[in-house]
A = this chain, B = another copy of it.
Amino acid sequence: MAIRTSTRSTTSSASRGRAGARGEAVADPVQQAWPRRQVRPLGADTLASVDAWWRAANYLSIGQIYLLDNPLLERPLERDDIKPRLLGHWGTTPGLNFIYAHLNRVIREREQSTIYIAGPGHGGPGMVANAYLDGTYSEIYSGIDQSTDGVRKLFRQFSFPGGIPSHAAPETPGSINEGGELGYSLSHAYGAAFDNPELLVATVIGDGEAETGPLATAWHSNKFLDPLHDGVVLPILHLNGYKIANPTVLARIPEDELLELMRGYGHTPHVVSGGFDGEDPALVHERMAQTLDMVLNEIAEIKRKAAEGDTTRPAWPMIILRTPKGWTCPAEIDGLPVENTWRAHQVPLANARDTEAHTRILEDWMRKYRPEELFDETGAPVELVTRLAPDGELRMSATPHANGGLLRRELALPDFRDYAVAVEEPGAVSGEATRTLGGWLADVIRDNPDNFRIFGPDETASNRLAPAVYEYSDKQWNAEVLPVDEHLARAGRIMEVLSEHQCQGWLEGYLLTGRHGLMNSYEAFIHIVDSMFNQHAKWLKVSRDIPWRRPVSSLNYLLSSHVWRQDHNGFSHQDPGFIDHVVNKKADVVRVYLPPDANTLLSTYDHCLRSVDYVNVVVAGKQPSPQWLDMDAAIAHCTRGLGIWEWAGTEVAGEQPDVVLGCAGDVPTLEVLAAASILRRELPGLKVRVVNVVDLMRLQDVREHPHGLSDREFDTIFTSDRPIVFAYHGYPWLIHRLTYRRAAHANLHVRGYKEEGTTTTPFDMVMLNDLDRYHLVIDVIDRVPGLASSQAGLRQRMQDARLHARQYTREHGEDLPEVTDWSWAGSQGHSQESATERTDDTGSDNV
């Protein structure tokens, strides 16, 4: 890790001393962070530098795609100088380079802390080229210095075996956005901007990406940005007109319509168009430079007004940049138009090695950038180019915001033990796990007022984290507020928008720039962001192996309103499969927790908020349910990740149990304990062991997951030869998958969710899936040798109990009192506190 550190901090404007340099009086920190500048022509010298940078970046981009050798064309290009497999994408690259060059100028002039989000991830060669030109690349990757040999290595490694990916990726300095799967640049940008009041987030949105759903709604993020305490997102919609093989929608609607769309999104659009039909780039440079200065002045004005107390939502400026796809590549190849068509999307000249003529086309194309003017005799970029780059951390490829671990501060976490539910004996009190967690999270918010946020798709209240979490913070909202509204404010720690994509994108951007947070969602609908999870997990997996990428906070999910309590919303709201999806990713980066009650949830979440570089999936109920463990026991249980609940079983010390009842998840745990109480009453001689699993990855083999148990440990808990009846929160397959190598696997019988359809009471729901207490007892009878014959009567009574329970719900519309009022303490002849205190399913938070 060797990023050169600027003498000036990017986060403290007090130390900048910028006023003298600009010859203006600096009145206050806001004006210092967001200065105004006169808008005027570039002047010959600056124009020359901007253009030189652009040419150099373009040259280096093409070189990466095409060349193995002869990097600076010191001799005529030969066939063998060209890579045999031409990979990478030119189409979007000159536009990305153009924007980068212009941003460089204004960053230098304004000392503007800036991060660059490149939505068109295909522009990987461009992002690498810019990082190379400003020196960051050589600082980080010591083998690739600013010399002819360095350029050769830079070219060769690109999308080459053993080298770097063809897209912007974790390997790319300055990037927090992998553009492989399009759609998230603008959400990432807002995530980066939150709580970074002096940061400019320049965000290039490709016109292909703009067609995606997540991007289309991300424009509305500006209703959630606080001009005072957050940074500024500058969207640059880069219309080059084509995607892979088609024109793009936004490039092919009339400009008036496009401007209305942008104004409708709440922006003030500025159009820069040029480069078509061979227009001199110098003219386009002038237009872009003046627009950028105007836009930054508008931003400065908005920032000033906000500092002065103006609370109206600003119409933030944005730029529409129209340039030809593949700008500056050959206009025509083999008689077909290339520049400004979809043919320039990837490798405009696909067969550069095939014929001498094609090789000459490539050479002519590359020489058009006049490399001899851009690199000196050693191969280093000349001063004409480099003088444009800002210094140190002001370089966009070196900004610490794009390597968020550098800026990450540990959270101040209040002691979660202080929020414990008092549990004197197991199951004697009732509690709502997420509501308890909400109390702790409220104080996490209080103690971390500028680097922790909670994200949710309009479900924070429904998931019962609220109202507790509103204690020290409101929901951030910058659209109209009416008197009837509650808990809305221009600044707040809680972000709510009805888009899981937005929530996830904001959170990712927030984490990758060094902060902390969590996302809460209904369990079923978290599948909406399956693919975003994929990309983030892959990002983390790769980042862990890149020494200069510092650890970032884990991405924490809290999935509530889960499958077993979506009886009323029905089949469409039932899906526990996100866990299955997650465990396909590298074991290094995924963790899954199913705390059975409030205290285990507190302990689990404390752990999650302290962790780095993971995706933590926590599934927890919001409905009132029995509390099993006091805080000490909960901590011990969570530390082990799974364990035998001796108080629940009927084991005899020193003997093997007759049967193991396993459970993972709050509803399965309740049903297993109810089944255990029936067995204790009906078959007192049966030695039953109850095992609860919090950390699902403990079931896996230690060779497959770092949390996994050794076979010996596993056998000690589950036995190697006794029947195991396992009640699981999700699809039963997963438990088989996690345990298929265990000796006990042949004896393992799993009950879980089966996609059976809809029902409308909680117990009817578990019965429909054969996960209910009565059926678990039947499962035990059917599996413990001898019981099937000796306990036919009990088996029949269990069948009758199910039938009776079902009939009762059909008649009364609610579950049988003997089921809903059941408590562990009561079943043991103990006192029973609040098990009958049911508040479920009639309140307005049941949505």
Instruction: Decide: B813 and A83 in contact? CB cutoff 8 A.
Output: yes
Closest B residue by C-beta to A352 = B842
Instruction: Decide: B216 and A841 in contact? CB cutoff 8 A.
Output: no
Q: Which residues of B contact A842 (CB under 8 A)?
A: 84-86, 347, 350-351
Interface residue? A571 (CB, 8 A): yes
Instruction: Decide: A181 and B572 in contact? CB cutoff 8 A.
Output: yes
Interface residue? A383 (CB, 8 A): no
In chain A, residues 726-740, which have Cβ atoms closer than 8 Å to a Cβ of chain B?
731, 733, 736-737, 740
CA distance A684 to B502 in the complex (A): 59
Kindly specify which of A252-260, A384-392, A552-560 makes contact with the partner chain.
A252-260
Instruction: Decide: A813 and B498 in contact? CB cutoff 8 A.
Output: no
Closest B residue by C-beta to A577 = B584
4 A-B pairs with the lowest CB-CB distances in the bound complex, closest first: A261-B264, A180-B572, A213-B213, A216-B217
Instruction: Decide: A213 and B211 in contact? CB cutoff 8 A.
Output: no
Q: Can you list 30 residue pairs at the A/B interface with Cβ under 8 Å?
A: A83-B813, A85-B841, A159-B570, A161-B806, A165-B571, A165-B572, A165-B758, A166-B568, A167-B569, A180-B570, A181-B524, A211-B502, A217-B217, A223-B249, A246-B475, A246-B498, A252-B479, A259-B264, A264-B265, A346-B844, A347-B842, A525-B531, A530-B581, A541-B757, A577-B584, A581-B581, A586-B755, A736-B740, A737-B737, A737-B740
Instruction: Decide: B211 and A217 in contact? CB cutoff 8 A.
Output: yes
Interface residue? A834 (CB, 8 A): no
Kindly specify which of A293-301, A337-345, A688-696, A781-789 makes contact with the partner chain.
A337-345
Closest B residue by C-beta to A847 = B244
Instruction: Give 1 or 0 for each of A495-533: 1 = CB within 8 Å of chain B CB.
Output: 011110110000000000000000000001101101100
Q: Would you give the shortest CB distance from A686 to chain B, in whole angstroms? A: 27
Interface residue? A812 (CB, 8 A): yes
In chain A, residues 709-766, which have Cβ atoms closer than 8 Å to a Cβ of chain B?
731, 733, 736-737, 740, 745, 755, 757-761, 764
- A interface bracket (residues with beta carbon within 8 Å of B): 35 or more
Q: Which residues of B contact A248 (CB under 8 A)?
A: 498
Known: A167-B569, A569-B180, A814-B84. A258 touches B264 (CB 8 A): yes
Instruction: Decide: A846 and B87 in contact? CB cutoff 8 A.
Output: yes
CA distance A488 to B341 in the complex (A): 14
Q: Would you give the shortest CB distance from A529 to chain B, in whole angstroms? A: 8
Residues of A within 8 A of B (CB): 68, 83-87, 89, 121, 159-163, 165-167, 169, 178, 180-183, 208-209, 211-220, 223, 243-249, 252-254, 257-266, 337, 340-341, 343, 345-348, 350-351, 458-462, 466, 475, 477, 479-482, 484-485, 488, 496-499, 501-502, 524-525, 527-528, 530-531, 534-535, 538, 541-542, 545, 568-573, 575, 577, 580-581, 584-586, 731, 733, 736-737, 740, 745, 755, 757-761, 764, 806, 809-810, 812-814, 841-847
CA distance A524 to B809 in the complex (A): 44
A161's partner among B163, B461, B760 (CB-CB below 8 A) is: B760
Known: A167-B569, A569-B166, A813-B83. A263 touches B266 (CB 8 A): no
